[in-house]
Amino acid sequence: MQPSNEPPRVGVIMGSKSDWPVMEHAVAMLEKLGVAYETKVVSAHRTPDLLFDYAKSASERGLSVIIAGAGGAAHLPGMVASQTPLPVLGVPVESKSLKGLDSLLSIAQMPGGIAVGTLAIGKPGATNAGLLAAQIVGLQDAKVREAVEAFRAEQTQKVLDNPDPRAE
């Protein structure tokens, strides 16, 4: 799903379908800000050829940014980053055994020379990955930049309109 008939500017990928409940928050933010996207399951371990094809073709297909969510060993963001010149934003998906700390460390501990922007674990990370991807797209797209600015102004106004923490 994507806004209007625009070609996707952001790729939202995840290691398995079970990552969708987290990654849907990145998609929701992209939709809110009017950024065209594509979404797909691409496993670093189960479909490595698909991963390489996806990453290597992303730029020529018109993508500007890739958001990659993964749990556990969380190799997806780093492997994608190794195969594309595009910015890759890694979202650590919470794992049952280590509550996502394993995912966070796997994504954050990239060797020098292969950059992955690492976000927070889970829903906040996915939400912020969508926002950060929109900010990157907004560098070249005034409409998206204006949507980001409006979103931030809305966030500010919510705080200003409700300064008393006790009020509902």
Domains and CATH numbers, the chain: 10-161 (3.40.50.1970)
- In the block, tokens 């670093």 appear at 44
Give pLDDT, residue 106: 93
Q: pLDDT per residue over 16-44, tens digit each?
A: 999 999 999 999 999 999 999 999 999 99
Query: Does pLDDT of 130 surpass 60?
Result: yes
Q: pLDDT per residue over 65-123, tens digit each?
A: 999 999 988 999 999 999 999 999 999 999 888 999 999 999 999 999 999 999 999 99
Query: Does pLDDT of 49 surpass 70?
Result: yes
Query: Does pLDDT of 64 surpass 70?
Result: yes
Write the CB contacts of 69 (distance below 8 Å, at least 6 apart in sequence): 12, 13, 14, 15, 19, 22, 23, 26, 76, 77, 90, 91, 92, 93, 126, 129
Residue pair 108/118 in contact by the 8 Å Cβ criterion: yes
Find the distance separating the first CA and the last CA of the chain, reported in whole Å: 35
- Rounded average pLDDT over 8-14: 98
Q: What angle do CA 143, 14, 37 make, to 5 degrees?
A: 20
61 assigned binding-site residue: no
Q: With cut-offs at 50, 70 and 90, classify the pLDDT of residue 1.
A: very low
Radius of gyration (C-alpha) of the chain in whole angstroms:
16
16 assigned binding-site residue: yes
The number of angstroms, rounded, from the C-alpha of 69 to the middle of its chain's C-alpha atoms is 7
- Rounded average pLDDT over 138-144: 97
Amino acid at 72: G
**Hey, which bits of 1-128 come out as E strands?**
10-14, 37-41, 65-71, 88-93, 117-118
